[in-house]
Structure 1
Amino acid sequence: MMWLMTNSSPWIWRRPNWPHLTYSAGDAAADLAETYRMHGVLEGKAAAIGLGATSQVALDAMADEVMATAAIEGEQLSADVVRSSVMRRLGLAASGPTNRHVDGLVDVINDATTAIDQALDEDRLCRWQSALFPGGTSGIQRIAVGRYRDHDDPMQIVSGLPGQEVVHYVAPASKDVPTQMAHFLQWFADSKPARNGAPASKDKTLDGLARAAIAHVWFESIHPFEDGNGRIGRAIVDMALGQHFRQPVRLYSLSRQLKTARSGYYDALNQAQRGDTDVTQWVRWFAGQCTAACIVASQVIDQAIEKKRFWDQDRAADLNNRHRKVLQRLLDAGDGGFEGGLNAEKFIKMTGVSKATATRDLGDLVDRGLLRKQGEGKAVRYYVDVPGWSHGLPSAPAPEVADSPELLVDDGTRSDAGMRRALEALGFIDIEYSGTRDHQYFGPVKAISASHVGQGLGRGKAVIHDLRTLSAVPRVGANLEVHFRSGRGTVIEVGPHERDLQR
């Protein structure tokens, strides 16, 4: 940031209607509705697994918000320092490194998102800005800390080399900041939603998401501080969203999304600050970023749900500590995230066991259905077996389909519905599903699709297997003996006379 002289004045605060910012509720309706839909999905998933304020998802979201809001300003913070500071702020034990600057930013974001019913006034904003610069400097330059800017030079946002500067924005003069901020803070108080989510007072039609968007562009247009305006402006957004959603647990990081869309963020904000006081396009863009942030957070929770389901399986109940350590590493890496897959050598490095023990452990995890084995000999690799995870490996070859009226060629669906219809058409009236209990099934494959196998059990009975639960893709028409244990099926093909399969 630099301060330069300019005669241009295309700025929003020069407009006759400033500071009365408006938006078209009709034009923004679809964008806002999509944000609310995704936010509802996110809340539902969080409730399903009982996420708390100190859950790993919440800790990660808070840490992401801290690192991202600093990174938008070009400042890279240590992940270890940030995580340690977040844990201490949430009252958790933390032995990591400390940094006054990081602690100050964590304090600001935490205050904005937890003390949402306390008034936002000049004193609170100035304390936030002081926390960002505990030494009274920005880099090595001394700045005004704990008060609005008061220098005579115009406040400008510029980029480029000396002599080739590009002016992106010019803020109101310092002498006008107290009056400008008084208008903003009064509006923020008047438009605060009531505890039931409705606006508390004057503007009964102002949407809560739109209010957060307007608050951000309004505050950034005033640019009241000598430094730290971006971080404080995003904290105000966090506070506005907290007042609107009344969400006890932070589930997403909007700053992380804004960092991802950093160029678009600057462009959208700049366009709004150069336009008139109708900021509909900015509200729509902002809503889109909130939606994207919810989608990312929803994917994170999906991973948390998958991990919980994995550990809740009976086959994972009696694992030893080294098994759990290795599996947790693979789960944390995600689908395809453990580069190159797991082999015996990596297992030894992770656990410190002998090669013989590593080989035995890996075999046991495969037998339990917790790891998938790929390849042979020195090329063998192991992957955590989570339904839907491909680890970037080629999918299993499509099953052979014989030219027989009794067999189902994939009907275009991947659900079990097509399989059930096919078995019913073949005269089966008692159809069950495998995987829900330990059991053995005997009989011929009567129908097969891209995702399911129908096995006849005789006397009008049949069973549907999910291909993902089987140790092998059955051959069409084969007589099978399938042993299920803890939700996994071991397929053994037997000859037609080895057992009375059609009893």
Structure 2
Amino acid sequence: MAYDLPLIWQAADWPNLHANPERIQEALSRARRAQGIVEGRLALVGFEHRLTLEADAWSQDAMATAAIEGERYDLAAVRSSIERRLGVGGQDGPAAPRNVEGLLDIMQDAVNGSQEPLTHQRLHGWQAALFPDGYSGMRRILVGAYRNHREPMQIVSGAHGREKVHYEAPPSSQLPVEMSAFVTWFNSTAGQDPLVTAAVAHVWFETIHPFEDGNGRIGRALIDLVLAREMGPSSRLIRTSQRLLEARKAYYDELEAAQHGTVDVTRWVLWFLEQVRVSCESATVTIDATLDKARFWAAHEKAPISPRQRKVINVLLDAGPNGFEGGMSTRKYESIGATSRATASRELLELEALGLLRRAGAGRSTRYYIALDGWAPAPDAGATAQAPGG
């Protein structure tokens, strides 16, 4: 469908969320409760552990926002760059390519500069950072400026000759007015609910689609900026891009639905708020696992264990509750610890005797789990203790 509602985004009452304010408030309350739990849990996390959590979340979100656009990055390079930026971790991974560093620059600026006004120059800089050589794949594109070509900007999918046009953005000649309206609105949202503002900002920006390429990544960086206004760097833990990647088809469908018809974006806002709620609940699980790990090592800091045993324990802890599929067996220990079967069996028994691991099953089905409540399956009352198997 062509863009047939000129200057619709300048309407004085846009966005129209009055069609069903009760549903908006209900969805917002659910998302806010989940967000509050995240912030409450974070208050229990020490500074160093919080930085590690931020590094993990930022890495996953950077990978996700790129993957939504079909880009595949090297996680080790992304993580290494983020560790250097935050001053945590080993910081010894491979160097990231310039375009990857550019994406991380944008995400960093969005969060660290969340209190600064949004400007056209800032948006131009973000887009230029994504395409440092001026190319998108094999195609030369305009960087550091809004698109200015005469042909329509269309969002399409499908093979060549069978393309489906999902949406046609406003013509380039209209962009100065459209983007001025957007930037003015964006900078006037102080005091409005950040979650609703983030939802509206994203759909509005994606509807204008002001750049030749990079609109999706920049639009998701705007979400990061709005959330960071309230939460600061801790907002990274919500990982909205990762959630949007997990719900990629629905994400595209909801954007497309919002870009057609009227200016009522209630359906989009409701959907977005639900994704924030889910993301916050996932963040809470991650934070709880980090707290469990910290408490675990605090309780066992004087345990007489070897570096190899500590390494295996950390593998289990990093996987989270029930995250290490099938538990730790002698065979897995042998592989992870690069040791013999006999040594693996003996060291697992030592860890059990010291109270670091709990045993489940018997014989060749024997498995070990972290000795924390909720981190292992319920014991089989009929099982009998035997030597651990493979």
TM more than 0.5 = yes
Structure 2 stretches lacking a partner, 5+ long: 386-390
Q: Which residue of 1 aligns with 2:147?
A: 149
Distance 1:256 1:88 in 2: 22
Shift of 1:154: 0.6
The residue that corresponds to 2:62 in the other structure is 66
Q: 1:69-116, CA deviations, whole angstroms, 9 ceiling, x for partnerless residues?
A: 111111121211211121122244522122111100000011001111
How far the C-alpha of 1:292 sits from its partner, in A, is 0.9
Aligned residue in 2 for 1:84: 80
What corresponds to 1:95 in structure 2? 92
Percentage of identical aligned residues: 43
Q: Which has the higher contact order (CA 8 A, sep 6+)?
A: 2
Amino acid at match of 1:61: A
1:55 corresponds to: 51
CA-atom RMSD, angstroms? 2.5
1:15 and 1:276 in contact (8 A); partners too: no
Matches within 5 A, 1:276-425: 276-314=262-300, 317-391=303-377, 395-397=379-381
Shift in alpha-carbon separation, 1:325–1:190, aligned structure 2, 3 A: same
Shift of 1:247: 5.4
Classify the secondary structure of the residue corresponding to 2:259. helix
How far the C-alpha of 1:64 sits from its partner, in A, is: 1.2
The residue number in structure 1 matching 2:224 is: 238
From 252, 257, 263, give the equivalent of 2:238.
252
Contact 2:156–2:165 (CA under 8 A) maintained in structure 1: yes
User: For structure 1, which runs of at least 5 residues remain unmatched after alignment?
Assistant: 1-7, 194-198, 200-205, 399-470, 473-503
Q: Greater CA deviation, 43-52 or 62-71?
A: 43-52
1:269 aligns with 2:255: yes
Instruction: State the partner residue of 1:216.
Output: 202
2:125 is matched with which residue: 127, 142, 148?
A: 127
- Alpha-carbon distance in structure 1 between the residues aligned to 2:206 and 2:9: 19
Q: Distance in 2 between matches of 1:95 and 1:125?
A: 31
Measured in 2, the distance between the counterparts of 1:12 and 1:280 equals 18
Task: Give, in whole Å, the separation in 2 of the partners of 1:315 and 1:135.
Answer: 51
After TM superposition, give the deviation of residue 246 of structure 1 in Å. Answer: 4.2
Q: How far apart in 2 are the matches of 1:237 and 1:384?
A: 37
Deviates more, 1:59-68 or 1:314-323: 314-323
User: Cα deviations across residues 113-168 of structure 1 (Å, max 9, x unaligned)?
Assistant: 11112221111100000000011000010000111100000100011233322111
Task: Report how far residue 52 of structure 1 moved.
Answer: 5.0
Shift of 1:171: 0.5
| TM-score of the superposed pair, with normalisation by structure 1 | 0.70
Of residues 169, 173, 188, the one that matches 1:190 is 188
Contact 2:51 2:86 (C-alpha < 8 Å) held by counterparts: no
Structure holding more helix per residue: 2
**Structure with greater proportional strand content:** 1
Cα distance, 1:327 vs structure 2 = 0.7
Q: How does 1:447-462 map to 2 (within 5 A)?
A: none
Q: Looking at CA atoms only, which structure, 1 or 2, has the larger radius of gyration?
A: 1
Answer whether contact 1:12 1:18 (CA < 8 A) is retained: no
Aligned-partner residue type, residue 380 of structure 2: A
Query: SS where residue 168 of structure 1 aligns?
Result: strand
Partner of 1:96: helix, strand, or coil?
Answer: coil
Match of 1:26 in 2: 22
Distance 2:125 2:183 in 1: 15
The superposition leaves residues 408-447 of structure 1 with CA deviations (integer Å, 9 ceiling, x where unpaired) of xxxxxxxxxxxxxxxxxxxxxxxxxxxxxxxxxxxxxxxx
Q: TM-score, normalised by structure 2?
A: 0.89
In structure 1, C-alpha distance between the alignment counterparts of 2:291 and 2:261, rounded to whole Å: 44
**Number of residue pairs aligned between Structure 1 and Structure 2:** 379
Please state whether the residue corresponding to 1:190 is helix, strand or coil: coil
- Once the two structures are superposed, residues 375-421 of structure 1 have per-residue CA deviations (whole angstroms, 9 ceiling, x without a partner) of 44444332322211235xx64349xxxxxxxxxxxxxxxxxxxxxxx
- 1:209–1:13 Cα change, 3 Å: farther
The answer to whether the Cα contact below 8 Å between 1:11 and 1:275 also exists between their aligned partners in 2 is no
State how far apart, in whole Å, the 2-side matches of 1:94 and 1:258 are: 28
> Is 1:229–2:226 an aligned residue pair?
no
